[in-house]
Amino acid sequence: MRDDKQTTHFGFRQVPVTEKAKLVRNVFDSVADQYDLMNDLMSFGIHRLWKRLTIFLSQVRYGERVLDLAGGTGDLTRLFHPRVGDKGEVVLADINAAMLRRGRDRLTDEGIVRGVRYAQVDAQCLPFEDDTFDCITIAFGLRNVTDKDKALASMYRVLKPGGRLLVLEFSKPTSELFGKVYDLYSFKLLPLMGKLVAGDPDSYRYLAESIRMHPDQNTLKGMMTKAGFERVEYFNLTQGVVAIHRGYKF
Per-residue pLDDT reduced to its tens digit, 207-216: 888 888 899 9
Judge contact between 40 and 107, C-beta under 8 A. Answer: no
What pLDDT, on a 0 to 100 scale, did the predictor assign at position 32? 67
Rounded mean pLDDT of 95-120? 95
Compute CA distances 130 → 152, 154, 155, 176, whole Å. Answer: 14, 9, 9, 42
Residue 20 binned pLDDT confidence (cut-offs 50, 70, 90): confident
For the ranges 109-118, 154-163, 192-201, 216-225, the lowest mean pLDDT is seen at 192-201
Structural contact between residues 118 and 91, judged by C-beta atoms closer than 8 angstroms: yes
Report the C-alpha gap between 7 and 18 in whole angstroms. 8
pLDDT in tens, 52-84: 999 999 999 999 999 999 998 999 999 999 999
Structure confidence at residue 4 (pLDDT):
55
Contact criterion met (CB below 8 Å) for 178 and 239: yes
Q: Are strands 242-248 and 159-170 parallel, antiparallel or unpaired?
A: antiparallel
In whole angstroms, how far apart are CA 102 and each of 53, 62, 93, 160? 24, 26, 12, 29
pTM of the model: 0.88
Where is pLDDT greater, at 192 or 250? 250
CB 249 within 8 A of CB 232: no
Which residues are documented as binding site? 73, 94, 122-123
Q: What is the mean pLDDT of residues 14-37?
A: 75
Determine the Cα–Cα distance for residues 136 and 83; give it in Å rounded to an integer.
Answer: 14
**147-183 per-position pLDDT tens digit:** 999 999 999 999 999 999 999 999 999 999 989 998 8
Residues at the binding site for S-adenosyl-L-methionine are 73, 94, 122-123
pLDDT digits (tens, 9 = 90+) for 229-243: 999 999 999 999 999
The pLDDT of residue 1 is 44
Q: Which domains does the chain have, with CATH numbers?
A: 46-173+216-248 (3.40.50.150)
CA separation for the pair 201, 2 (Å, rounded): 33
125: confidence class by pLDDT, cuts 50, 70, 90: very high
Q: What angle do CA 95, 14, 11 make, to 5 degrees?
A: 55
